[in-house]
Amino acid sequence: MSTLNDQPVRELLEQPNHAVVSTFNRDGSVHNTVVWISAEDGTVAVNSSRGRKWPTNLERDPRITVLVYEQGNPYNYVEIRGTATGTGEGADEHINLLTKKYMGQDEYPFRQPGEERVKFVIRPEHVRHQRQG
């Protein structure tokens, strides 16, 4: 089993590679969506707006799987399974950090009036790295 500290995993997380988060719908089916991701202090973090489907799922059931894949080679990826804890504290700063990483801009340009950001910190329980090509 890999860890978030393994160099190839760190490289995947530090680069502007997209992630797919999988959460559980109320009926038990899986909901997947593409997100931006950051690594910090032995965890990973994602960000969204309250009221969207996957954050609502996480608030009900904190189990999550995250798959981060290299933009130029999707066969180089890391799968992270764990539990997520959401907070509004630092969420605005976090989305701006992600915007800098993924768009090269200082401030998130897609904010909607009245939008409340939420940052989910994911504590990994299982980390698996795979590289082909």
Torsion of CA 62, 106, 9, 130, to 10 degrees: 80
Structure tokens at 3: 């860890």
Q: What pLDDT, on a 0 to 100 scale, did the predictor assign at position 82?
A: 98
What percent of the chain has pLDDT above 70? 100
Structure tokens at 58: 């996480």
- Cut 0.85: pTM above it: yes
Q: What pLDDT, on a 0 to 100 scale, did the predictor assign at position 1?
A: 85
The fold for domain 7-131 equals Pnp Oxidase; Chain A (2.30.110)
Task: Kindly report, residue by residue over 96-123, the tens digit of the pLDDT.
Answer: 999 999 999 999 999 999 999 999 999 9
Q: Would you list the domain boundaries of the chain?
A: 7-131
Task: Kindly report, residue by residue over 30-58, the tens digit of the pLDDT.
Answer: 999 999 999 988 999 999 999 999 999 99
Residues 6+ apart with CB under 8 A from 13: 4, 37, 38, 39, 44, 68, 78
Mean pLDDT of the chain: 97
Cβ–Cβ < 8 Å for 93, 87: no
User: Is 133's pLDDT higher than 80?
Assistant: no
